[in-house]
Amino acid sequence: MVSQPRVLVVDDEESVRDAFADALEDLPYKVETVSGGEEALAKVKSSPADLIFLDLKMPEMDGVEVLHHIREMDKTVPIYIVTAFHGEFLERLQAAEEAGLAFQLLHKPIGQEAIRKVARGVLAAA
């Protein structure tokens, strides 16, 4: 039996996590949501994801820090940083990219069809 591709959604706002879960609920993926960086790292360590949607602006540990830690554990999982605040983090994102930390950037607000399109595109081969 082939296991379902795993999608991890990391966002401190419950409404955003719910929107991602709603967008992906009819697709054949196991969707898990967490509210912060520490939870995300624990989840990636215990059950690796096939796709991660990662918020950038979160309390305690922001998305750039989480990206660094995830890349130490998994260099290949597709990570989509989803934010309305990319300008505020631009220098750090550029530094992460220059350091070879692969990610894609999606701008909030992102619609459900766009979420599904990204997931289908990334996970088609999973």
pLDDT digits (tens, 9 = 90+) for 41-89: 999 999 999 999 999 999 999 999 999 999 999 999 999 999 887 788 8
What distance lies between CA 39 and its chain's CA centroid? Answer: 13
Cβ atoms 108, 83 nearer than 8 A: yes
pTM to 2 decimals? Answer: 0.94
Q: Which domains does the chain have, with CATH numbers?
A: 6-123 (3.40.50.2300)
Burial class from Cβ neighbours inside 10 Å (0-12, 13-18, 19+) for residue 57 reads middle
